């Protein structure tokens, strides 16, 4: 016959049965009401992501501005490819300046808005380079101007409007 009495078996210890040998970690302090923004990190070139974005956006907007100087969708496509080739073909240390920073700022607004924003970004880019990497100013300037010239001549001859835009870009980079 089966024994109907309760069996007393030794139970395995559980996590709550034995004290922890792990060091005690105090609870996290209450979060403040003003979150601390994440610190921007610099890459090997000494530039933050935001600074790379400025350098990249200035270069891209300059060539896009040249492309917008003349109407024509197919011409604009050719011009954008030509501008990209000029950037990719620049010296590695200069190409690295615009190779990071995420998606560049796109031209938006009226032609006057695009002009104002592009000139402002070009000024910021040159100031940034003069402060952090003065040895790269001339290379960056040459890359942006070559990109603009290539964009202007990609579809056909460079128009007077495109020449005028390139002159403004050159002045902003001086």
Residue 64 has pLDDT above 70, yes or no: yes
Which of 36-40, 135-139, 158-162 is modeled with the greatest confidence?
Answer: 135-139
CB 61 within 8 A of CB 107: yes
Mean pLDDT value across residues 111-120:
93
Decide: pTM greater than 0.75.
no
pLDDT at position 32 is 46
Higher pLDDT, 5 or 38: 5
Residue 38 has pLDDT above 50, yes or no: no
Write phi, then psi, for 25 (nearest 5 degrees): -115, 120
């Amino acid at each position: 016959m089966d024994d109907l009495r309760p069996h007393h078996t030794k139970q395995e210890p559980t996590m709550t049965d034995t004290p922890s040998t792990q060091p005690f970690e105090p609870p996290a302090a209450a979060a403040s009401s003003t979150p601390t923004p994440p610190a921007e990190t610099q890459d090997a070139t000494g530039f933050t992501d935001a600074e790379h974005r400025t350098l990249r956006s200035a270069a891209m907007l300059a060539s896009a501005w040249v492309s917008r100087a003349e109407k024509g969708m197919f011409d604009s496509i050719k011009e954008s490819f030509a501008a990209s080739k000029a950037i990719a073909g620049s010296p590695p240390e200069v190409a690295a300046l615009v190779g990071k920073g995420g998606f560049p700022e796109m031209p938006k607004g009226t032609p006057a808005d695009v002009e104002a924003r592009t000139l402002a970004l070009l000024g910021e880019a040159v100031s940034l380079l003069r402060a952090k990497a003065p040895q790269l100013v001339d290379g960056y300037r040459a890359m942006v101007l070559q990109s603009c010239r290539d964009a202007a001549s990609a579809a056909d001859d460079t128009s007077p409007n495109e020449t005028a835009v390139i002159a403004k870009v050159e002045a902003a980079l001086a």
